[in-house]
Every structure is written in C-alpha cells, then in structure tokens.
Amino acid sequence: MKQNETLLNIMENDELMQDDSHFSTSLETPLRPDAFKLTEEQKIEKIEHHFREILTTLGMDLNDDSLNKTPYRVAKMYVKEIFSGLDPNNKPKVSLFENKFGYNQMLVEKDINVNSQCEHHLVPIFGKAHVAYIANGEVIGLSKINRIVDYYCKRPQVQERLTRQIAEELKQVLKTEDVAVVLDAKHMCVSSRGIKDVNSSTITAAISGQFQNEATRLEFLRYIGMNSSF
C-alpha cells in the first residue's frame, strides 16, 4: 500500500528526485553544437585512443591478448550501441494507423525493457517502463513504443529526463496529451558503488491529459500491477 501511495504522489507531482545528484535541469540531453561534426568512424578512433590511455594509466598491460582490442571494442560499443540514441538519425521511424475500431479506452504496453547508462558514472540503469495512451483518432504499432523507449535509453541519462523524453515523444507522435509513462529501474551507481544498496529501485512518472484524472490514473496503476485499495 505504501509503495502505491508513493507512486500516486509521484504521478501527481510528475517526477521523483531520488537525491540531489539525480537532478535534471532540462528535458533535452546536453549536447554541444558540434556534436555531429565527426563521423562515427572518427569518433570510434578518438574514443579508442583515449580509452587506451585510460587503461594504460590504470596500469593494464594492453599487449595482453585479452586486453589488446578492448579500447576498440569499448569505442565501437559507445558509438554504435549504448550511446547510439544521441544521433537523431537513429530515431525510429513511426507510422500511425487509423483507429478503425473506434477504440477509445487506454492502451497499455507494460514491462518494456529499460537499459540505459547513468550520465554521472556511465554505469547501467536497468528496469522496466510502463506506457499508456488514449487514442486520438490514430494508433501506433506496438513495437514502435518499445523502439521509442529504447532510442531514448541509448544515451547517457538521468531517469527523470528519460521518463519525460519518452512521454513527450509519444505525445508529439500520437498528437494527444493523454499519455502516461512510469519507469521502475535500478541504478548501478547506487548498487555497485557508494552506498552499495542492491535492493532499492527508483520510480519516476510523467503523466498528462486524462491521466491526471485520479480514476484514470488508478486504472493505469491496476493494469501495471501497482494497484492497492487506498
């Protein structure tokens, strides 16, 4: 019951700050104006060079067969995989379909995988996203919701910003304010360093439109398994 009371308060306030270090001042991911001046190959080359220096400074022997290619592997992973969401060219193409069935209730896609990186320590954030919307004449393919979540996960993030970016993208794509997003995630910067708390998770929410109505909000919570009688 307590967890659900807390979540209800989060949704009413539209965000939860776990602590000061997770404060986000902008909806936009902070990027320099020349962020895309270099090609992917040039970025990989630069990151490989600098990461080689990092490992050497730590005292690692990069002549070892196991380590020799590590700087390149890390650089390629950063550019092509876990930070590929920084490049707007990788934004998923989304098509809308006419709501021919006249379905005017909420649609919920729950338990979407969240795999991102904390921008403060560059260690994983992982958990689940729950997304809902009420159609406004058009609907989106279900897999596209997952792809939008994945796109915004693939960049250095704070969970509050990630939650809002997903919600704002869906509102823009679907042309409706009736959108709700809840993220429940664990942060390796909490569990593997510092306090080393492996049990806690962080819940954030972004809601708008009809989901600001308490009855609609509670219906959404029931669908995602966070309901209680209060």
* Residue whose entry in the numeric block shows the structure tokens 């989304």: 94
Q: Quick check: is 21 in a domain?
A: yes
Select which of 15, 40, 45, 119 is catalytic: 119
Rounded average pLDDT over 206-229: 90
The pLDDT confidence band at residue 205, using thresholds 50, 70 and 90, is very high
Rounded average pLDDT over 4-20: 49
CATH number at residue 45: 1.10.286.10
Same domain, 118 and 192: yes
Position 154 scores a pLDDT of 98
Q: Is 18 a catalytic residue?
A: no
DSSP character at residue 78: I
Q: Quick check: is 230 in a domain?
A: no
SS3 209: helix
Q: Quick check: is 31 in a domain?
A: no
The neighbour count for residue 174, using CB atoms within 10 Å, is 21
Which H or E element spans position 144? helix 142-153
Total structural domains within the chain: 2
Is 30:157 a contact under the CB 8 Å cutoff? no
Write the single-letter amino acid at 146: N
Q: Is 22 a catalytic residue?
A: no
Q: Quick check: is 202 in a domain?
A: yes
Same domain, 102 and 140: yes
Average pLDDT, rounded, for the chain: 90
Same domain, 97 and 82: no
Q: Quick check: is 229 in a domain?
A: no
Domain that holds residue 197: 2-26+93-223
Same domain, 100 and 62: no
Q: Is 119 a catalytic residue?
A: yes
Q: What percent of the chain has pLDDT over 90?
A: 82
Select which of 41, 42, 50, 120 is catalytic: 120
Is 4:227 a contact under the CB 8 Å cutoff? yes
Model pLDDT for residues 117-133, shown as the tens digit of each residue: 999 999 999 999 999 99
Predicted TM-score of the model (pTM): 0.88
Select which of 48, 109, 169, 189 is catalytic: 189
Position 17 scores a pLDDT of 39
Is 147:89 a contact under the CB 8 Å cutoff? no
Same domain, 184 and 122: yes
CATH number at residue 174: 3.30.1130.10
Q: Is 214 a catalytic residue?
A: no
Same domain, 204 and 99: yes
Q: Is 120 a catalytic residue?
A: yes
The pLDDT confidence band at residue 150, using thresholds 50, 70 and 90, is very high
Select which of 121, 168, 212, 219 is catalytic: 121
Same domain, 218 and 159: yes
Alpha-carbon distance of 73 to 144, in angstroms, equals 29
Q: Quick check: is 228 in a domain?
A: no
Q: How many residues does the chain have?
A: 230
Of 32-36, 100-104, 148-152, 204-208, where does mean pLDDT reach its minimum? Answer: 100-104
Select which of 48, 118, 160, 165 is catalytic: 118
Residue 16 has pLDDT above 70, yes or no: no
Model pLDDT for residues 24-53, shown as the tens digit of each residue: 557 999 999 999 999 999 999 999 999 999
